Structure 1
Amino acid sequence: MFEVLVFVYENYWRGDACPELKQLGRKLSAVGFDSDEIEAALAWLDGLNLAARHTRITLPASPDLPPIQQQSPTSLRVYSSAEQDHLGAEALGFVSFLETSGVLPAPMREIVMDRAMAVPGGPMSLDDLKIIVLMVYWSAGVEPDALVLDELCDDTESRIAH
């Protein structure tokens, strides 16, 4: 499924540029993706579209839009046992890193959590979570800044610690 999501992200510059799901399914099939992967990805994208449609996301790049739900600076997100088990420590740590860095506002974090919980299996790999975060940015029609994009797309395995 994640290969299909990466293909969609790379070929449609924004979520609103993506064709309707039926047409997208035909295009993905023509490209050669497996029908089970296409079906899973389309169901996942449908859930993403639904979540994005019902949430207004305010990022530092768009301060003129008032958020629907204002989170207090002193509030704390407590992850359920199911979320902890499904995502694992590494993925939850990455979500926390993005949030404390100021690049993942609370409404967007909740969409990430919703879409991560919609993926079967677990614990989730960090690479799969990064694809989910990219897709949430994509669905909001927001290009992550260069440093965030680098963090989401960089292969951390090949990094050398200084």
Structure 2
Amino acid sequence: MRERVLAIVSIITQYVLGERDTVTENDIVEELLAVGFDADEIDAAFSWMQNVGSAAPGKTRELTEVRSQRIFTAEEKRDITADARGLLIRLRTLGILDDEAQEEIIDRAMQVADDPVSLKEMKAIAALTLFSRNHEEWRREVDCFLDDDWVRLYH
């Protein structure tokens, strides 16, 4: 179920990033039901997104020099794939994540970790976490790493 909930979260994120202003929550729910997701999965996705959004209200972006490297625990290494951990390290090194955002993303990933969290799942979790902090400020960065467009992040 976790993969399906994250798939729903990813679809909803694409709606928001796609600037579909005329689409309502009901429209999204109807479309998700039509493609085979069930109501419990959709509710779980919206609840998860709401929790992510309420975790850090009013946070603003501050780029700071990376001075330390986070060491993943044995449990985190077991529950988060190497590629997904690599994404977090890369985002942190680029200054896209601060310590607080990185910890929040890791906490969210560990909450859904029945199977190891994949790179695709980590991208969705990271995108939603950053997006919940400040929609417009993080829009470009979220678009870039969801599309694997790392060159655009450097310029």
Assess same fold via TM > 0.5: yes
Task: State the shift of 1:85 in Å.
Answer: 0.9
How many residue pairs align between the two structures? 137
TM-score (norm 2): 0.70
2:147 to 137, 141, 153: 153
Question: CA, structure 1 residues 42+111, in 2 after alignment: closer, same or farther (shift >3 Å)?
Answer: same
Question: CA, structure 1 residues 104+47, in 2 after alignment: closer, same or farther (shift >3 Å)?
Answer: same
Which aligned pairs between 1:48-127 and structure 2 lie closer than 5 A? Answer: 48-53=52-57, 56-60=59-63, 73-127=66-120
State how far apart, in whole Å, the 2-side matches of 1:57 and 1:79 are.
26
- Structure 1 spans left out of the alignment, 5+ residues: 18-22, 61-70, 157-162
TM-score (norm 1): 0.68
Question: CA, structure 1 residues 9+73, in 2 after alignment: closer, same or farther (shift >3 Å)?
Answer: closer
Letter of the aligned partner of 2:61 in structure 1?
Answer: T
Task: State the shift of 1:77 in Å.
Answer: 2.0
Question: CA, structure 1 residues 151+11, in 2 after alignment: closer, same or farther (shift >3 Å)?
Answer: closer
State how far apart, in whole Å, the 2-side matches of 1:100 and 1:118 are.
24
- Structure 2 spans left out of the alignment, 5+ residues: 151-155
The 8 Å contact of residues 96 and 141 in structure 2, kept in 1 or not, is answered as no
